[in-house]
C-alpha cells in the first residue's frame, strides 16, 4: 500500500540524516566509537519518539466505547445489521 511506501521512503531519508548527523564517514574502514554510539542512540530514539507521538495522538482521539456503539447504531440504521 502507499503508506508502506511512504514509511520506507521516510525511513531511508531518516537513515541518511542519522548517518550525516553522527559524523559517519564512508571513506573510513572503521568508524570511531563515538560515531557508533551516536548511530545506536539515534536509531533507538527516533522510533521511541515516533511511537510516543502516535500514542499521544491515539489517547487524544475521541473514540471511546460509547462513541463506537453510537457509530455502530448509525451504520446499522443506514444499511442494516453489520
The model's pLDDT over 3-53, given as tens digits with 9 standing for 90+, comes to 999 989 998 888 888 999 999 999 999 999 999 999 999 989 988 999 999
pTM: 0.62
Per DSSP, helices labelled H in the chain are 2-21, 33-60, 65-79
Surface-to-core class of residue 22, CB atoms within 10 Å of its CB (0-12 exposed, 13-18 middle, 19+ buried): buried
Kindly state the cell numbers that stand for 47: 522510533
- Supply φ then ψ for residue 74, to 5 degrees: -60, -45
CA torsion angle 13 16 21 25 (round to 10): -170
Amino acid at each position: 500500500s502507499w503508506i508502506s511506501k511512504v514509511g520506507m521512503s521516510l525511513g531511508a531519508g531518516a537513515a541518511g540524516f542519522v548517518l550525516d548527523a553522527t559524523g559517519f564517514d564512508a571513506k573510513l574502514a572503521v568508524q570511531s566509537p563515538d560515531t557508533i554510539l551516536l548511530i545506536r542512540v539515534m536509531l533507538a530514539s527516533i522510533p521511541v519518539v515516533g511511537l510516543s507521538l502516535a500514542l499521544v495522538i491515539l489517547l487524544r482521539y475521541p473514540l471511546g466505547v460509547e462513541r463506537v456503539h453510537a457509530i455502530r447504531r448509525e451504520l446499522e440504521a443506514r444499511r442494516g445489521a453489520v
